[in-house]
Amino acid sequence: MDIRRVAMLSVHTSPLEQPGTGDAGGLNVYVVETARRLAQRGVEVEIFTRRTCASLADEVVLAPGVLVRHVDAGPYEGLRKEDLPAQLCAFAAEVMAQVARQPHGHYDLVHSHYWLSGQVGWLVAERWGVPLAHTMHTMAKVKNAALAEGDTPEPLTRIVGEEQVVKVADVLVANTETEATELIDLYAADPVKVRVIEPGVDLTTFTSGAASTARSRLDLPVDADLVLFVGRIQPLKAPDVLLRAVANLLAREPHRRSNLIVGVLGGPSGSGLERPRALQQLARDLGIADVVQFVPPVSRAGLADWFRAADLVAVPSRSESFGLVALEALASGAPVLATDVGGLPGAVGPGGRLVRGHDPADWASAIAGLLDDPDLRKQLSEAGIAHAAAHGWERTTDDLFSAYVEAVQHKRRVL
C-alpha cells in the first residue's frame, strides 16, 4: 500500500538547528535523515516544530518533499524545555488549525519524537483518525536510574506523560533491543506495538580518510595524540569523566602532556545550561587546561574531519538510547571507547572497546591502552568502518516505512 504523507512532530527542537548544543542532538539528526529518505521514496513529510524566533518563516523547505512548519506556542524566546508542557495544548491547537484547511485524510500517519511531541501526537492523530508512531529517544525512568552526582532528576510530570504516550501509541519505535525491553518492563508497553529499528549513519558524509589531511584542515599537529569527545555538554553525556580520566593519566604518566590533545566539541545543554562554563573550570581545577581544546558545534562535514583526525573518540555517557556519535565516528575510521550502557554496545560493535562504569582510573587505563597500540587502533578502525557500513540510514528508513504501512493497515481494519 502507499503512504502518501506523514506528519512528524518535534515540539522542543527544530530539525533546522545545529546538533550539539541546546536541545539539538541525535533526535534532530534522526528526524532530518529519515524525513529526507522517506521523501526520496515518494512520501511527503511535514515536520511541525515550535517557532523560537519571530523572523522564522511559517514554512521552510528542508529538502525536496520535506517541509518544516513553524508553530506558535508560547513566547518565541526564553522558554526552557521544562516550561513546554504548559504550551502543549496551544501547540496542538495550532497544528490542527494549520491543517484544518486540508481535506480529510491529508496525512496517513503521525510520527512523534520525544514525549512532549507524543502528547501532541496523541491529540492530533486521534482527531485525524490516523495511527500514531512514537519514538521516545530518551526515557525519564532510564535517565533517573543513571543520574550523575548533583544532576537534576526528570520530573514526575514527564514520567506520567511518557506512560500515557506509551499506552496510546499504535507503534513504538525502539532504537535497540535494550530500549524495547525498557519500554516493556518500565512502562508496561504492549510488546506487540514495539518495533526495534536501529538509527543509522550518513555514509556519504561520514567516510574514512587520511588523519594527516584532516588534521591539516583543522590546523592540528600531525603527530599529537588526539582524544575526542563530541556531544552536548551536560552531566548525562559525562564529558567530566573524560577530563578526570585525562588528569589521572597525566598524573601517572606526565610525559604524555607534551603530545596530548583532548578535543571537546559541543555546547551546553540540559542541566549544563545552569553552569555553561563548568567544564572549562573543571579542566583548570584538574590542571589540564593546557591540553584541552573546547570547540563549538561544527557542520556535519566538519565533524567528519574531526573524527578522521582523532586517535580515539570517547563516549562516556551515563545513559544512551543508541549512540549516533559512536556510529558516525566508526564510519569515519575512528576507534571508539564507550561506556557499557544502553545502546552503546550495539552501536560500537567490533569498532571499539567498552568500559564498565565511570571510574576515571579505569578510563585512563583504557585510553592509554589504545593510544599505545597503533596496531589495535588500526584493527578497530577497519572493523568499525565495516560495522558502520551495515547501518546506513537507508536500512533505518526501510524498516520505518514497513512499520508505518503495518500501522496504517491495522488502523484501517479497526476503523
- The annotation places the binding site for 1D-myo-inositol 3-phosphate at 12, 23-28, 81, 114, 138, 158
Give the helix/strand (H/E) hosting 173.
Answer: strand 171-174
Phi/psi of residue 234, nearest 5 degrees:
-155, 160
Supply the Cα-derived Rg of the chain in whole angstroms: 21
Residues sharing a CB contact under 8 Å with residue 187, sequence separation 6 or more, in sequence order: 139, 141, 162, 163, 166
Is the separation of the CB atoms in 405 and 7 below 8 Å? no
> Between the CA atoms of 277, 280, 285 and 289, what dihedral angle is there, to the nearest 10 degrees?
-160
> Between the CA atoms of 61, 84, 24 and 109, what dihedral angle is there, to the nearest 10 degrees?
-50
| Annotated binding-site members | 12, 18-19, 23-28, 81, 114, 138, 158, 232, 237, 298, 307-308, 310, 320, 328
Phi/psi of residue 261, nearest 5 degrees:
-125, 130
Q: How far apart are CA 206 and CA 308, in angstroms?
A: 9
Q: How many helices (H) and strands (E) does the chain have?
A: 15, 14
Site of grid cell 607534551 = 258
Angle at 332 between CA 230 and CA 255, to 5 degrees: 60
Cβ neighbours of 369 (radius 10 Å):
13
Q: How far apart are CA 318 and CA 144, in angstroms?
A: 10
| Annotated binding-site members for UDP-N-acetyl-alpha-D-glucosamine | 18-19, 26, 232, 237, 298, 320, 328
